[in-house]
């Protein structure tokens, strides 16, 4: 490991540290200077003012899971678009544009496929 | 569906003496029927056949017992019928929830505010007052009221 | 705790409180829903959170003292409730109301009906996610409240109708302001239609949702826009014409299928009919006294009376038993939202939770009116 | 008054920090949509186009108590609703304030007479109230004045609310 490589890793280390601090500091600040509320029903689940009935640990339909999956797919997709946005229009405008169109097109095929399969329609069980 | 064949359907159920025509201009209803507690279901069926809808069920507390007022009206012609059922204290009436679904809540409200029980009502429980309330507020002996009369004082019979 | 997960959980329905504090229940109505995933298995509207005991109050107050209560039962169409109660007592005691007062009452009642429909329009579309129509409709509604505020003194809870007439006379400024308001609202119709009626998302949320046909509506005693959307032209102003409605001509808009879209369209057409009524009433406004001579404490003769008016939500009826004194012996307000709300127990099971909001909004409930 | 357990203040209380926080809190009150009766309609009218609450940063009506710091008790409190109001109040995070809007929330209003069986005469019997807005229903301007009075309460005096761009007519003795 040359000194130069080690030196570069310092940047990465600082960047990670800043990220962690950036995430944790609001929590610490609000823990320190935020007010504290008190009350019997403070920790109960909020259900429009009524005590909740039964536990939430029940089996519910798989369609919720599919919605979450589709959201996750496109969330990660946006993650990749950030660096593209930075390096966009550095000379080859057409190429970048087509690449993005292909990238998003393939991903949205997943939705089209799921839609055709009828995963999103709520089937009535009873 | 005019008033005549409503009268004709009801005459099979109630003695003609109990059917009293009322002046619509002054009293707001065309026909008043005095029924007994057991005739209520038959009157409701007759009104249903005459294509009337249940407008409301009210109750009034008198010294000689509560009085339930069923009101039927038809949406094709002015034919509001007032069915008056005089009960003695503690007597109960048959629920007409199976004939008119609107009656389910009206009867629950009358039960809750007056304490009149409705037999074979699917779920006769409190509607307006908190669950732990154990009083019947609209009875005349509860709370602050101006007067407590008997039916003779008001209707003269 | 551990073994709880071992046994197979077969029961997949769970209970949800669309409870008293919910943005789209317009007040403190609690829908106790039994859900199976997104579908409603059972719906039980729990009411009583706005119960104030109006009917018990009536038994220990004078007829005049009960007047403010009427507009606090249904505060969106308060003036129509006022008109109903006052006309009931007048009919009992045989008080003759001068024609000018009758016309003023009809004008203000129709203005109040439009303001109630405008508020329903704004909150209904806001429940379905559209925020801007709420601001449009409230802007128009403020104009009506200004007009009525000038003449009755309050914006919402009127005691404008008194036994024998109205409390204050209307002046020319009221008439010009009403004419301006009519032109302004008529110029805004296409804004409303373009913004909402032709909006695809709204149509998907309202078409074929919560179908209430004629038979179900009559079984539950629904009246008003719900019954008219099911195709039954029942309107107390036409069925039992009171006040001067018999001299004014207007149609009763009806729908066909009785779904949420039909109820929406019926209410919009009703607003246009109300504008038409106001115009005719303004032309025919006679001169003369605005209040008949009435004893200080009204004492109706013995007996029981019933009087019905058409409120924005349906047929409002006052059943009053009088024992000859100046205190009502018993007063029952037959309220349209009572039957309109009960129809949910029949309509909701089998629909999606998201449709509940659309159905509840299209039925237009005012909770303290249901709870009395 | 309700048995008010005094909520403990922040763990670290620096005057400057508190003042800056109060300034921010005062000018961004998030009310909870919670209308009981007629006053709710006037509250909506206050939030709508003419009497716009957004001018004071208070137009964001949050549906759930978890995200709101102001509870407006707008309407009659029936005995069936009282435990729910207390639950909602306790589920709101600190710092939180309460406006009792309308005569019913202040003292039972037109429905309070000695034979009344159904309402709780006044919101202060169940929740600690900071500002009372009288009226039946109070006009939207009245509610807005209630908001301004609450903002002065939070920043402990109108002069310290530097973000305020107009002078509120100070009534003698307030």
Chain A positions touching C18 (Cβ under 8 A) are: 48
Q: What is the pLDDT averaged over residues C233-257?
A: 91
pLDDT at D170: 63
Q: What is the pLDDT averaged over residues C319-331?
A: 92
- Judged on CB neighbours under 10 Å (0-12, 13-18, 19+), A3 is exposed
For the cut 50, the answer to whether the pLDDT of residue C162 exceeds it is yes
pLDDT at B106: 93
Backbone angles phi, psi at C334, to 5 degrees: -80, 115
| Rounded distance between C-alpha atoms, residue A99 and residue D90, angstroms | 53
> Residue D23 falls within a domain, yes or no?
no
Q: ipTM of the predicted structure?
A: 0.88
- Structural domain span for residue D114: 30-160
C-beta of residue C90 within 8 angstroms of C-beta of residue C75 = no
C-beta of residue C55 within 8 angstroms of C-beta of residue B145 = no
Q: Hey, are the CB atoms on C19 and A49 less than 8 Å from each other? A: yes
Q: Hey, are the CB atoms on D90 and A46 less than 8 Å from each other? A: no
Chain A positions touching C351 (Cβ under 8 A) are: none
pLDDT over 90 percentage in chain C: 80
| Rounded distance between C-alpha atoms, residue C80 and residue C85, angstroms | 9
Q: Given pLDDT bands bounded at 50, 70 and 90, which one contains residue D172?
A: low
Interface of A with D (CB under 8 A): 31-42, 44, 46, 49-51
pLDDT at D2: 47
| Rounded distance between C-alpha atoms, residue A48 and residue A51, angstroms | 9
Distance from CA of D117 to the nearest CA of C (A): 7
Low-confidence stretches of chain B (pLDDT beneath 70): 1-2, 157
Q: Which helix (H) or strand (E) holds D118?
A: none
**Chains in touch with A (≥3 Cβ pairs < 8 A):** C, D
- Structural domain span for residue C184: 55-371
Q: Given pLDDT bands bounded at 50, 70 and 90, which one contains residue A66?
A: confident
> Residue D144 falls within a domain, yes or no?
yes
| Rounded distance between C-alpha atoms, residue C255 and residue C227, angstroms | 9
List the structure tokens of C164: 């024998």
Q: What is the pLDDT averaged over residues C261-269?
A: 95
pLDDT at C89: 94
DSSP-assigned letter for residue C197: I
Chain A positions touching D64 (Cβ under 8 A) are: 46
List the structure tokens of A19: 């990220």
Average pLDDT, chain D: 87
CA distances from D101 to A106, C327, D104, D164 (A): 56, 31, 8, 23
Nearest by CB: A48 against C5, C9, C22:
C22
pLDDT at B6: 77
Distance from CA of D18 to the nearest CA of A (A): 8
| Rounded distance between C-alpha atoms, residue C87 and residue C68, angstroms | 15
For the cut 90, the answer to whether the pLDDT of residue A107 exceeds it is no
Rounded to 10°, the helix C99-127/C172-192 angle is 30
C-beta of residue C363 within 8 angstroms of C-beta of residue C26 = no
> Residue D2 falls within a domain, yes or no?
no
Classify C37 in phi/psi space as left (phi over 0), alpha (psi -120 to 50) or beta.
left
Q: Which of A29, A37, A47 to mutate to test the interface with D (most CBs of D within 10 A)?
A: A37
Chain A positions touching D66 (Cβ under 8 A) are: 46
Q: How do beta strands B93-94 and B118-119 pair? A: parallel
pLDDT at A115: 83
**A-B interface (Cβ pairs under 8 Å ≥ 3):** no
DSSP string for B46-70: HHHHTT-EEEEEEEEEETTEEEEEE
pLDDT at D1: 43
**B-C interface (Cβ pairs under 8 Å ≥ 3):** yes
Q: What is the pLDDT averaged over residues A26-35?
A: 88
For the cut 60, the answer to whether the pLDDT of residue C352 exceeds it is yes
CATH for C163: 1.10.645.10
pLDDT at B49: 85
Average pLDDT, chain C: 91
For the cut 90, the answer to whether the pLDDT of residue C97 exceeds it is yes
pLDDT digits (tens, 9 = 90+) for D79-102: 999 999 999 999 999 889 999 999
Q: Any chain B CB within 8 A of the CB of D79?
A: yes
Looking at chain A, how many residues does it have? 126
Strands of the sheet with C303-311, listed across from one edge: C303-311, C314-322, C328-334
> Residue C24 falls within a domain, yes or no?
no
**Residue in C160, C188, C157, C163 with CA at minimum distance from that of residue C320:** C163
∠ Cα D127 D131 D137 (to 5°): 95
Nearest by CB: C59 against B71, B145, B153:
B145
> Residue D8 falls within a domain, yes or no?
no
Q: Hey, are the CB atoms on C319 and B69 less than 8 Å from each other? A: yes
Q: Hey, are the CB atoms on D117 and B145 less than 8 Å from each other? A: no
| Rounded distance between C-alpha atoms, residue C354 and residue C260, angstroms | 13
pLDDT at D165: 66
**Chains in touch with C (≥3 Cβ pairs < 8 A):** A, B, D
| SS3 state of residue C119 | helix
Q: What is the pLDDT averaged over residues A31-55?
A: 83
pLDDT at A62: 76
Contacts across the A-C interface (CB distance below 8 Å): 54
Distance from CA of C153 to the nearest CA of B (A): 31
Chain B positions touching C332 (Cβ under 8 A) are: 56, 58
Chain D positions touching C22 (Cβ under 8 A) are: 63
**Chains in touch with D (≥3 Cβ pairs < 8 A):** A, B, C
Chain D positions touching C125 (Cβ under 8 A) are: none
Domains of chain B: residue spans and CATH:
3-148 (3.30.460.80)
Low-confidence winner among C133-137, D56-60, D131-135 (lowest mean pLDDT)? D56-60
Is the link from the previous residue into C178 a cis peptide, with omega within 30 of 0? no
For the cut 80, the answer to whether the pLDDT of residue C222 exceeds it is yes
Q: Which residue has the tokens 């009766």?
A: D37
β-bridge mates for residue C318, sequence order = C307, C333
| Rounded distance between C-alpha atoms, residue D104 and residue A94, angstroms | 67
List the structure tokens of B16: 């003609």
CATH for D34: 3.40.50.12280
Contacts across the A-D interface (CB distance below 8 Å): 59
Task: Return the higher-pLDDT residue of A72 and A59.
Answer: A72
Nearest by CB: D94 against A35, A41, A51:
A35
C-beta of residue C334 within 8 angstroms of C-beta of residue C316 = yes
> Residue D22 falls within a domain, yes or no?
no
Neighbours of B64 (CB within 10 A): 13
| Rounded distance between C-alpha atoms, residue C210 and residue C202, angstroms | 14
Average pLDDT, chain A: 84
Backbone angles phi, psi at A77, to 5 degrees: -60, -40
* Domains held by chain D: number: 1
DSSP-assigned letter for residue B110: H
Q: What is the pLDDT averaged over residues C45-56?
A: 92
For the cut 50, the answer to whether the pLDDT of residue C1 exceeds it is no
C-beta of residue D59 within 8 angstroms of C-beta of residue D53 = yes
> Residue C295 falls within a domain, yes or no?
yes
Least CA distance to B138: which residue of chain D?
Answer: D117
pLDDT at C223: 92
Nearest by CB: D80 against B130, B137, B145:
B130
Q: What is the pLDDT averaged over residues D25-39?
A: 90
- Judged on CB neighbours under 10 Å (0-12, 13-18, 19+), B108 is buried
Q: Which helix (H) or strand (E) holds C105?
A: helix C99-127
Task: Return the higher-pLDDT residue of D13 and C79.
Answer: C79
Q: Hey, are the CB atoms on A49 and D12 less than 8 Å from each other? A: no
Nearest by CB: C27 against D35, D111, D118:
D35
Chain D positions touching B145 (Cβ under 8 A) are: 115
| SS3 state of residue C315 | strand
Please, what is the end-to-end C-alpha distance for chain A in angstroms? 66
pLDDT at A90: 77
pLDDT at A54: 77
For the cut 70, the answer to whether the pLDDT of residue D173 exceeds it is no
C239-245 contacts at long range (C-beta below 8 A, 24 or more positions apart): C239/B75, C239/B77, C239/B78, C240/B78, C240/C308, C242/C87, C242/C307, C242/C308, C242/C309, C243/C83, C243/C87, C243/C102, C243/C105, C243/C106, C244/C99, C244/C102, C244/C103, C244/C106, C244/C281, C245/C106, C245/C277
* Domains held by chain C: number: 1
Q: Hey, are the CB atoms on D115 and B129 less than 8 Å from each other? A: no
pLDDT at D169: 67
pLDDT digits (tens, 9 = 90+) for A92-102: 778 888 888 99
Q: What is the pLDDT averaged over residues C142-159?
A: 93
């Amino acid at each position: 490991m040359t000194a130069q490589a080690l030196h570069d890793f310092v940047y990465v280390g600082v960047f990670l540290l800043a990220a962690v601090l950036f995430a944790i500091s609001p929590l610490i600040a609000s823990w320190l200077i935020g007010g504290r509320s008190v009350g019997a029903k403070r920790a109960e689940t909020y259900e429009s003012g009524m005590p909740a009935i039964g536990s939430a640990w029940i089996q519910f339909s798989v369609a919720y899971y599919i919605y979450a999956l589709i959201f996750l797919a496109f969330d990660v997709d946006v993650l990749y678009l950030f660096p593209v946005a930075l390096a966009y229009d550095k000379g080859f405008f057409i190429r970048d544009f087509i690449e993005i169109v292909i990238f998003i097109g393939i991903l949205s095929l997943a939705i089209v496929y799921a839609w055709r399969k009828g995963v999103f329609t709520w089937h009535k069980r009873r | 569906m005019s008033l005549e064949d409503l009268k004709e359907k009801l005459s099979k159920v109630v003695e003609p003496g109990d059917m009293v025509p009322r002046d619509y201009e002054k009293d707001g209803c065309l026909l008043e029927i005095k029924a007994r507690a057991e005739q209520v279901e038959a009157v409701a069926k007759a009104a249903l056949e005459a294509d009337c809808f249940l407008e409301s069920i009210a109750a009034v507390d008198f010294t000689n017992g509560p009085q339930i007022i069923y009101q039927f009206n038809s949406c094709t012609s002015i034919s509001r019928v007032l069915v008056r059922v005089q009960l003695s204290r503690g007597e109960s009436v048959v629920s007409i929830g199976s004939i008119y679904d609107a009656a389910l809540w009206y009867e629950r409200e009358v039960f809750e505010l007056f304490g009149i029980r409705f037999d074979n009502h699917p779920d006769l429980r409190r509607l307006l007052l908190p669950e732990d309330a154990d009083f019947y507020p609209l009875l005349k002996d509860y709370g602050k009221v101006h007067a407590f009369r008997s039916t003779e004082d008001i209707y003269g019979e | 705790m551990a073994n709880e997960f071992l046994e197979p959980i077969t029961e997949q329905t769970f209970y949800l409180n669309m409870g008293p504090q919910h943005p789209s229940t317009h007040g403190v109505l609690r829908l106790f829903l039994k859900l199976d995933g997104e579908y409603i298995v059972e719906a039980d509207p729990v009411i009583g959170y706005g119960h104030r005991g109006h009917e018990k109050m009536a038994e220990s107050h004078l007829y005049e003292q009960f007047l403010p209560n009427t507009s606090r039962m249904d505060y969106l169409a308060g003036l129509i409730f006022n008109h109903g109660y006052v006309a009931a007592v007048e009919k009992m005691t045989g008080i003759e109301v001068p024609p000018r007062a009758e016309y003023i009452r009809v004008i203000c009642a129709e203005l109040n009906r439009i303001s109630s429909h405008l508020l329903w329009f704004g909150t209904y579309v806001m429940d379905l996610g559209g925020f801007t129509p709420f601001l449009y409709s409230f802007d128009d509604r403020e104009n009506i409240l200004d007009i009525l505020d000038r003449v009755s003194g309050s914006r919402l809870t009127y005691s404008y109708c008194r036994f024998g007439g109205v409390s204050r006379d209307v002046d020319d400024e009221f008439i010009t302001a009403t004419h301006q308001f009519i032109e302004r609202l008529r110029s805004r119709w296409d804004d409303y239609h373009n913004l909402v009626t032709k909006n695809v998302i709204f149509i998907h949320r309202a078409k074929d949702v919560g179908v209430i046909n004629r038979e179900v509506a009559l079984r539950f005693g629904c009246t008003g826009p719900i019954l008219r959307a099911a195709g039954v032209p029942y309107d107390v102003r036409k069925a039992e014409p009171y006040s001067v409605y018999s001299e004014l001509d207007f149609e009763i808009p009806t729908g066909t299928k009785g779904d949420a879209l039909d109820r929406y369209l019926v209410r919009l057409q009703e607003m246009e009919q109300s504008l038409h009524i106001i115009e005719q009433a303004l032309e025919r406004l006679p001169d003369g006294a605005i209040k008949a001579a009435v004893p200080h404490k009204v004492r109706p003769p013995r007996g029981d009376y019933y009087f019905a008016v058409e409120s924005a939500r349906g047929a409002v009826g006052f059943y009053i038993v009088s024992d000859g004194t100046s205190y009502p012996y018993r007063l029952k307000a037959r309220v349209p939202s009572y039957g309109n709300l009960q129809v949910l127990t029949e309509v909701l099971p089998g629909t999606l939770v998201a449709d509940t909001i659309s159905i509840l909004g299209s039925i237009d409930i005012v909770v303290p009116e249901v709870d009395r | 008054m309700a048995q008010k357990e005094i909520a403990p203040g922040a763990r670290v209380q620096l005057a400057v920090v508190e003042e800056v926080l109060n300034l921010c809190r005062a000018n961004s009150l998030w009310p909870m949509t919670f209308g009981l009766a007629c006053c709710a309609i006037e509250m909506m009218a206050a939030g709508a186009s003419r009497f716009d609450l957004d001018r004071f940063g208070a137009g964001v009506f949050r549906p759930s108590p978890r995200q709101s710091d102001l509870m407006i008790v707008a309407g009659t409190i029936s005995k069936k609703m009282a435990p729910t109001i207390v639950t909602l109040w306790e589920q709101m995070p600190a710092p939180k304030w309460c406006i009792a809007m309308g005569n019913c929330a202040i003292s039972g209003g037109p429905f309070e007479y000695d034979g009344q069986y159904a309402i709780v005469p006044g919101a202060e019997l169940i929740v600690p109230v900071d500002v009372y807005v009288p009226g039946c229903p109070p006009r939207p301007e009245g509610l807005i004045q209630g908001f301004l009075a609450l903002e002065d309460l939070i920043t402990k005096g109108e002069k310290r609310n530097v973000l305020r761009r107009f002078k509120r007519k100070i009534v003698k003795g307030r």
